[in-house]
Every structure is written in structure tokens, then in C-alpha cells.
Structure 1
């Protein structure tokens, strides 16, 4: 999604060849149809060990396409960094945004650490959106400081300042408050933790939990809600292409993840002037306004998560104050324009041919 925003901003100054290593191209519809984009199918072998066939295929793509700049995203594309070496065919920017469920709770596998150290050496610079990932890249992966760049995510704040669409969510029951979250329903997001914390709330004030998003864990989460006796108070809304339609309808925005770095959904909720309850993961505590930080709780403390939800649900004045402060902070610190300008300059600098060496 971030790449789509950047590509649209750069307009026709670049041609893009996109390789999806998992075959998922759902984000193509976010790209401006006027862009010069080629989706290149490449057979990718998935497994625990290094694939020499993958390296050969990737090397062949780089040889044939001769890109001015190679962009790779996350662990699934790290092999491309190795394919771009010995000798390097083009400058390389590798983006890390976080970890999947297998590395979610600090389990950074030694083989992955070593592979990143090797694959991301040479002509590669590593781009990270959070200070936590920056520290991991420097200390664990041992990437030299000069090759690690911290570029925070940014959003279109004006898009979330507009009044929400009252029809985006079902009508409220009398006196009902809404707790909501946005994200893919998969293991590392741990929406089960949010269900359990919500189920422990007292009946007054009445509240409903709204989960915006879809994913492989949805059937299990729906069953868990029924088992907890809250099935009639949990609303699974599925994917929503325009979350700004609904975020402003929520009274509390919640995150219950095992791992995050700099979640876009949090920035969007802040831009919609929502107060936040969250597990203390990634840069979440640093992102929200200072007064909201006591409501960012230890990841495995369910009682603290429930207490934070209850505190906001029972204090409308606090909700308004934190929401307004969060919006002011995201407008001040995390505007989309600054992010796009940074990437614009970065891509231009890296794709520009180096000047010829003057003779000694």
C-alpha cells in the first residue's frame, strides 16, 4: 500500500516491474492506471533452506531487465539482495516493516539473522519505519549505521478529518459505545487477546466490538467470540477499502498485537481523533500523544488491557481529550507529504547513474 502511494506520486518518471513472490497482486488496483507497470511472473521455491534455483532465476531477471534500482520488501524478498551481488547489478533498497507470527514475540531465528547479514550487505541500504526495527537492524543484523535509514510512515491526514459515513457500521443500540480495531485477522495480530479483554468488561456501559478486516483466523475468532458469550456483541465487518468511513464512528481504537512496528491503522485512527488502547509493541507508545501512553499496556497483561478499555469507555471527556491530542500529533509528525517527498528524493538519488571517475 505504501509503495502504491509512492508510485502514484512519482507518476510516469519511472517504469515499474513488479514481482510478487507469493503471487498476491491485490494491491495493483491502487496504482494509477496511467503508470507504466509490468507484473512479471517468476517461479519461487518456498522452503527453509536457501534455494540456488531462486538465486539463478532472480539473477536472470536482474540481468535481463537491467533495473536502475532494486526495491525489496520484507523477509520473503531477502534472497533478491543476495542475487544482486557478486557483482552488484544495481543499487538496492530493502524495506523491513515487521515480522510474521514465527518471529512475532522476539523469536528472531539465528539462521534468518545470519542470512540477513549476508544478503543485505554490499550495495544494499535498509529502510525501516520504526526505531525498534532500526535498533534490530543495527544490533542484531549488524548493518552499518550508514546503510540504515529510518523513514516513518505517513498518511493523508485530511482524508481522516472528514466526517465519517454513518452507514458504514450498523446502527448503535441505545447508549452503546464502540470499540474497534483494523487489521488482517491473522495470528500475530492476536485479536483473540482483544476478544478476551472485551469479554471481561462489566456490562455497564454497554459496548460492542467492531473488527474491520479479514484473514485466515476469522473462523476461529468467530468461534472464540461465541465461546466467550459475546458473539452478539462482536461485529466482524470484513475488509473495508476506505476505513475513514468508519474510524470516526468508533469511541475507542484498540490494538492487541503480539508484534507491530509503526502500524498505519494506528496513524489513521489518530488522524480520525480516536483515543487508543494498545499492547506495548513496536513504536506504538512513542507514536501516541503523551497523555495516551498510560493506556499502552504490557502485551500479556489481559487485566491491564481490560482496565484500559474500561477507563476510556467510562470517561467521555478523556476520550475527547486524547482523541484531539492524538490527531494534533499525527498532523504534526506523520503527514503523508513529508514521507512522499523523502522517498521521491531517495529514489532519484539512488537511481541516478554515478558520475564518471576523473583520472588521477
Structure 2
């Protein structure tokens, strides 16, 4: 008798389509459907909002989806509803990707045959007291999960020091959906217009939050030579947007910066960038950086461990000292004035991502893990 595919419920965040959500979509697209049947779900904590972007995107790709409505930060009714769904749909593995889904998922599978795997995508560097407590509680349940798969070597090393977690750890190299990037050839009309007007275009795709270090980038841009015509495209949204808009005005660079907000077709922006900049204070292995490399774009990033895993200075991109706006300024000038060198680095970076960080390679490793935990 032919064995049915392993049924895996990927439980993600109801927020926008950022790194973790893109990661889930890349994984399910590359898992062999003959071996793994994927369901994509979220716990929706705000009933007033529209369908979560992750759910809309997964449904558009043809995957089964589930939205569990449970208003509030921690609502125990989510445990009951998730448990009911697991039983009704014969879910074999619950794969969680966020402190909230980890904790609710852990309670939901207790006493069932369903296994649970967590993929930590990173911890908050400057979290408030409440968030620190939630993340600490998250790590405390790791020893009771069936597997914990940190997204980067740094996350793995941090958890490896915790004796009771160590035996549950598995490292699987992060991956990016290269086929999706190669399939997109379009460039956003606004960026085409900027290019025709002779602007040097810097770009960023991601959340507008403090740990992304965008204030460092703004300070660097305020020191750029007035003879270099430039524009900065910010694709994404977040709570820091009002602060950044005010900062741009104070630094007298607001006319050069456009906030595009969240965009479903982010690759059309990426295709139009002359350089992708990621000035983060903390990252795992950032997907946006991998996507930029896969699109063969010159990149500049801070010298934090997650980014340094991908970028070797003056080989696959440019690295500047974290928080150092003047050093970042030097790197921006280098990219804008040394085009052949920047393009050569971009080509080397693309080759590295294609060889080592493909979503196909990552999916094969997860297929093996799913089989092992069962």
C-alpha cells in the first residue's frame, strides 16, 4: 500500500510578507508534494484586519491554508482551535516560526501523535520587557519540542550552550527561492523613470524597525557629495516609519527618499536598484540579502555575524562597521564610482548563493528531517 505524504502545517505570523513569511513560502514551493503535503496557517490576533498576507500568497500558489482567529497577544482559545484542526486534518508535523506559534503549538500538540518542530528566525536585540519575557519562555520550551532548527550558525551556537536544548538541535542551511527571482524581469516604473533621469538608486526591502539600522543609512546619505544625484527606495513598512520620515526632513534629504510601503511585487524594485543596502544591527542570515545576491545586485551591509556569513568584503559585496555612518558613506561612494568592481562582486555573490543557499537544497534537508522525527 502506497504511503501517503507527510502532512505538515507551517504556522507563521499574520504580519506582512517579510523574511520569515517569504522563507515559509520558499520552503513549501520546493518540498516534494509526493513526500510532503503542506498547509500554511497563521494565528490571527486582530479580527479587524484583512486576511494575512502569508495566507493570501500561499493560497495564490495553490496551497491549503488555515487562519485561526484568536484576538489578543496570547489567547488560549487558539490552543483549542489549533488542536481541533490538527485532529480533523490528520496533521503529522506542526512546524512553527515565531515565539507565539511555538508556545501555542507546543500546548496544542500535547497528548497527540503530532510532532512539533520550531525554526527560530532570530531574537529581538532591543526588545521591551514583555517581549523579552515571551522570547525567554519560548526558549524554555525548546527541550520539549521534537526538533529545533535555528536559521543561522550564530543562533545555533547560542542555543547549543543550553544543555537540555542541544540534543534537539539540527542545523539546516538557510535558502532562497532562486527560481522566483530569475523569473521576474520587470522593473517598477518609478525606478525606470529615476534611471532615465540619471539617478544612482539605493534600495532597501524589509521592515521599518530599529534593528534594521536605517537611521545609520540616512545619516550616511546626508553626507553624500551634492554632485552625485541619488534616490533611496524603501520597500516595506513598520512602526519606525514616522520617525524616519521626520529624520529625513531634519537631515534635508527627504526629497531624495521615497517610502513605497509594503509591495507585493518587491522583486520589481530589486531589479531596479543600483545597490542594495542592509545596515542592520542584528540579523540571522537575512533573506533580503540572499535575494539581492541572487538577483546579481551589488550589496552593502553591516559587519554583523548574519550578514558576514554571506558577504566577504570586496569579494561578494561591501561591509561597513555597524553603526558607523561615515564608513557606510565610503562604501556607497565606492559602489557609485567603481562600477566594474561592484558588478564583478555581484556576479561572485550570485554564484555563492546559487551553489550554497538555494531553497531546493534547503527543502531536501527538511524532507529528511520530517521523516526522521516521525
For the superposition of Structure 1 and Structure 2, which TM-score range results when normalised by the shorter chain? 0.7 to 0.9
Q: Secondary structure at the match of 1:102?
A: coil
Report how many aligned residue pairs link the two structures.
341
| Distance apart, 1:93 and its partner CA | 0.3
Please tell me whether residue 37 in structure 1 is matched to residue 65 in structure 2: yes
Does the aligned pair in 1 maintain the 2:312–2:318 contact within 8 Å?
A: no
| Distance apart, 1:243 and its partner CA | 2.4
Structure with the greater alpha carbon radius of gyration: 1
- Between the aligned partners of 1:237 and 1:127, the Cα distance in structure 2 is 34
Q: Could you tell which deviates more after superposition, 339-348 or 130-139? A: 339-348
Give the aligned partner of residue 245 of structure 2.
222
Give the aligned partner of residue 148 of structure 2.
126
Query: Could you say if the C-alpha distance between residues 83 and 69 of structure 1 is closer, same or farther in structure 2, counting changes exceeding 3 Å?
Result: same
Q: Secondary structure at the match of 1:27?
A: helix
Please tell me whether residue 182 in structure 1 is matched to residue 205 in structure 2: yes
TM-score of the aligned structures, taking structure 1 as reference length? 0.82
Does the aligned pair in 1 maintain the 2:41–2:68 contact within 8 Å?
A: yes
Please tell me whether residue 16 in structure 1 is matched to residue 39 in structure 2: yes
Unaligned runs of 5+ in 1: 47-52, 353-360
Does the aligned pair in 1 maintain the 2:45–2:71 contact within 8 Å?
A: no
- Between the aligned partners of 1:178 and 1:76, the Cα distance in structure 2 is 38
Give the aligned partner of residue 49 of structure 1.
none
Which aligned pairs between 1:206-285 and structure 2 lie closer than 5 A? 206-285=229-308
Q: Secondary structure at the match of 1:128?
A: coil
- Between the aligned partners of 2:169 and 2:327, the Cα distance in structure 1 is 35
Does the aligned pair in 1 maintain the 2:205–2:234 contact within 8 Å?
A: yes
Q: Secondary structure at the match of 1:6?
A: helix
Q: Could you tell which deviates more after superposition, 207-216 or 225-234? A: 207-216
Which aligned pairs between 1:9-88 and structure 2 lie closer than 5 A? 9-10=30-31, 11=33, 14=37, 16=39, 18-20=41-43, 22-23=45-46, 25-32=52-59, 34-46=62-74, 54=76, 58=79, 61-62=82-83, 65-66=86-87, 67-80=91-104, 82-83=106-107
| Distance apart, 1:255 and its partner CA | 0.5
TM-score of the aligned structures, taking structure 2 as reference length? 0.79
Query: Could you say if the C-alpha distance between residues 91 and 190 of structure 1 is closer, same or farther in structure 2, counting changes exceeding 3 Å?
Result: same
- Between the aligned partners of 1:80 and 1:116, the Cα distance in structure 2 is 10
Query: Could you say if the C-alpha distance between residues 182 and 77 of structure 1 is closer, same or farther in structure 2, counting changes exceeding 3 Å?
Result: same
Unaligned runs of 5+ in 2: 1-21
Q: Secondary structure at the match of 2:144?
A: coil
Query: Could you say if the C-alpha distance between residues 142 and 192 of structure 1 is closer, same or farther in structure 2, counting changes exceeding 3 Å?
Result: farther
Query: Could you say if the C-alpha distance between residues 86 and 158 of structure 1 is closer, same or farther in structure 2, counting changes exceeding 3 Å?
Result: closer
1:152 to 169, 173, 181: 173
- Between the aligned partners of 1:283 and 1:160, the Cα distance in structure 2 is 21
